[in-house]
Amino acid sequence: MEDLTQEEWAEQLANDDNAVVLDVRTDGEVADGIIPNAIHIDIYKGQGFVYALEELDKSKNYYVYCRSGNRSGQACNIMQQLGFDNTYNLEGGILEWEGDLVDLE
């Protein structure tokens, strides 16, 4: 896992053809907006979260975020235990995100 600043995360993501953006917030938090093209898997789903991760392609690079950067760091650690080699945590989470957000509604 690598912790990236907002600027590093956005720049690396923009130049990564093998990138997947992963939002690990709750449904209620996601209702406030999500980074474009992100997939949402709530880390609070417990074993369901692990099952959902196991369905993902481990060869991809995962850019993971939550509200503040704490849960996404935990998610990156879980992903590494499951065999994901390239996970990038967004420091400061979506609270500090200055890029675009989309409404899911």
Distance CA 101, CA 94 (A): 9
Query: What does the DSSP 8-state code read for residue 34?
Result: B
Phi first, then psi, for residue 34 (nearest 5°) are -140, 150
Catalytic residue among 1, 66, 78, 79: 66
76 is catalytic: no
Return the H-helix or E-strand segment holding 78.
helix 70-81
CA dist 32 and 15 (Å) reads 27
Q: Which residues are catalytic?
A: 66
